[in-house]
């Protein structure tokens, strides 16, 4: 990672750089991929795998896993890195929690990740919908480990407490980037607010729940800024950290400033572990929910 302090800026006409060789992966071919695709279509469910154009969705679906995205596929925010559509959301679907639960039952999941678009149009930011989905999944799948990846809920205590009352095992909220770059990378989000959400969750649940956060690299951050972000997360008692390479989903999104080599990700993993994170996933293709079941409260 360079020591420059370049600010990312959207470049609609800029040609995207060729991906380094470590991104050239052989796509898996498996009946499980087709079965997962058909199941999601049958139950009319959204996944962040598709909506956010995740590079790992071929692998994950071939393993029979997916990250369910509830509360629709229209987001009220317009982050410069995210491929999810920004538009006025539709009304919440009352039967969506039961459909997610049925999907996890059919897929025989032992660890599920549930995320959502930002719903700033709702008074609780969609927190109650999260809680209902958690309850439905648990009822249909006793013993399943439930991980939620939530928006910041504008740091509203009511919304945070609503999700916590449903007792997920892992509470994930992404810091996304370093402090300096947050205003140009994230829409309507602030660095301090995200840290506050994570700190509140830990203060309310302590060792009963694991908190998790993630950072994208390659947006122009310096190594010192990254180190400070990791320190800030540890100060908020964040337990689990993911570090991955930012990839530009379209010409309308923020450009990649730098491709971080795998060896540097390995160094960052060692640094994060030395800071006290209980588990660190660090690599170019790592995303918030990629191989999330490798750290499970049931086995940790």
Residue 126: give its domain's CATH number.
3.20.20.70
Residue 18 is assigned to a structural domain of this protein: no
pLDDT at 93 over 60: yes
Residue 97 is assigned to a structural domain of this protein: yes
Smallest CA-to-CA distance from 264 within 22, 7, 5, 8 is with 22
- Our count of domains for the chain comes to 1
- Kindly tell me the burial class for residue 6, based on how many C-beta atoms sit within 10 Å of its own C-beta (0-12, 13-18, 19 or more): middle
Residue 47 is assigned to a structural domain of this protein: yes
Residue 6 is assigned to a structural domain of this protein: no
Average pLDDT, the chain: 86
Residue 22 is assigned to a structural domain of this protein: no
What domain range includes position 59?
29-294
Give the model's pLDDT for residue 13. 46
In tens, the pLDDT along 207-240 reads 999 999 999 999 999 999 999 999 999 999 999 9
In tens, the pLDDT along 41-56 reads 777 776 655 544 555 5
Please state the pTM of the whole predicted model: 0.86
Residue 249 is assigned to a structural domain of this protein: yes
Q: What's the rounded Cα separation, in Å, for the pair 221 and 228?
A: 11
pLDDT at 132 over 90: yes
């Amino acid at each position: 990672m360079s020591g420059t302090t370049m600010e990312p800026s959207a470049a609609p006409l800029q040609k995207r750089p060729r991906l380094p060789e470590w991104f050239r992966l052989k796509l898996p071919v498996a009946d499980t991929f087709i079965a997962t695709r058909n199941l999601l279509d049958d139950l009319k469910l959204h996944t962040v795998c598709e909506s956010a154009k995740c590079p790992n969705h071929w692998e994950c679906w071939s393993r029979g896993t997916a990250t369910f995205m509830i509360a629709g596929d229209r987001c009220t925010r317009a982050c410069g890195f995210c491929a999810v559509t920004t538009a006025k959301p539709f009304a919440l679907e009352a039967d969506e929690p039961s459909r997610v639960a049925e999907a996890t039952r059919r897929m025989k999941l032992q660890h599920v990740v549930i995320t959502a678009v930002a719903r700033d149009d709702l008074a609780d930011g969609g927190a109650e919908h999260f809680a209902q989905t958690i309850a439905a999944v648990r009822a249909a799948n006793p013993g399943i480990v439930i991980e939620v990846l939530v928006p910041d809920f504008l740091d509203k205590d009511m919304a945070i407490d609503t999700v916590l009352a449903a007792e997920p095992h892992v509470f994930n909220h992404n810091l996304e980037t370093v402090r300096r770059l947050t205003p140009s990378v994230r829409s309507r989000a602030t660095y301090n607010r995200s840290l506050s959400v994570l700190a509140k969750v830990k203060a309310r649940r302590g060792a009963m729940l694991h908190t998790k956060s993630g950072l994208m690299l390659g947006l122009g951050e310096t190594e010192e800024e990254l180190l400070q972000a990791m320190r800030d997360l540890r100060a908020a008692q964040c337990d689990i950290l993911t570090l991955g390479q930012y990839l530009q989903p379209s010409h309308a999104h923020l450009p990649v400033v730098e491709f971080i080599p795998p060896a540097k990700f390995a160094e960052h993993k060692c640094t994060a572990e030395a800071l006290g994170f209980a588990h660190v996933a660090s690599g170019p293709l790592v995303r918030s929910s990629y191989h999330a079941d490798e750290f499970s409260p049931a086995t940790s």
